[in-house]
Amino acid sequence: MPELPEVETIRGQLDKFLAGKKIKEVRIKLPKLVKFPTPKFKKIIIGQTIQSVSRRAKILVFNLSNGWSMLTHLKLTGRLIFRKADEPLQKEDEKWNHLIYSFSDGSRLFHNDLRQFGYVKMVETSKLDDYFIKEKFGPEPLEKGFNFEKLLAILKKRPKMKIKQFLMDQTLIAGIGNIYSDEVLFYSNIHPLRRAGDLSDKEAKKIFGEIKRILPLALKLRGTSENTYLDARGREGEFATRLKVYGRKGEKCDCGGVVERIRIGGRSAHFCPKCQNNH
């Protein structure tokens, strides 16, 4: 599933490409993807200008000129790929397409999704804050307001929760998933089965520092192309070459240990038993 660096990469690109463009048409090939009545959905968005593209957690928010916002969640395998009017279509534009947005200047945005877990919702822009409060998203880890004291306070709320699950819980911290929780814990030398309440302040500070270091670095490299992720121009992210443990079960760590994978709450966790031996 695209995580914060991947979704923020796409957000930044689409905000640059789409701001000021008028939606001329939308082709809906998979109605279940749109969690809104099709006729009303088309009536609301067609003819409107995209004012900006923002993000909350892993959700992209297309803010329209008529006071509505279109929320798009890519879930596990979703992609949003932008093509200019004069650009030839690529294979990633044609595979698994479910929504095609056409703009007045001839450019198009392709929403495709192999597993079809993603969704599009419509929310009045004035009600976005209330909507996200109901979704119970935690703080954004890249915002200045997310400081070490805030992380400590959240850790104290879930002392019995395993730290791997803690980092992935969207109601506690928004945007971190399987990939970056593994990498944050590796660089922090923390075993994924450690409980949040058992961490020392020094260990918690390591985790905080790695969140603030790894997420911006991954964003700079346009994310990690794991599974089907591509950015809004159909390119793979470049952070995969930096991964130390995620997806590397059975491979040697830099320390000479061998990366292991375990299941925690139905999700996988990769770690080096030599570097992260403090369970």
Query: Does the active-site annotation cover 58?
Result: yes
Query: Does the active-site annotation cover 3?
Result: yes
> Are the CB atoms for 259 and 251 separated by under 8 Å?
yes
The one catalytic residue among 150, 244, 267, 274: 267
Q: Which residues contact 172 (CB under 8 A, 6 or more apart)?
A: 138, 154, 157, 158, 166
Q: Which residues contact 74 (CB under 8 A, 6 or more apart)?
A: 1, 2, 7, 10, 58, 60, 80, 113, 118
The one catalytic residue among 2, 5, 141, 192: 2
Q: Which residues contact 12 (CB under 8 A, 6 or more apart)?
A: none
The one catalytic residue among 3, 6, 8, 183: 3
**CA 113 → CA 10, 41, 77, 132, distances in Å?**
15, 19, 5, 24
Query: Does the active-site annotation cover 2?
Result: yes
Phi and psi torsions of 272, nearest 5°: -100, 115
Residues 87, 164: Cα–Cα separation, whole Å: 43
Phi and psi torsions of 271, nearest 5°: -160, 160
The one catalytic residue among 58, 79, 162, 248: 58
> Are the CB atoms for 181 and 174 separated by under 8 Å?
no
Catalytic residues: 2-3, 58, 267
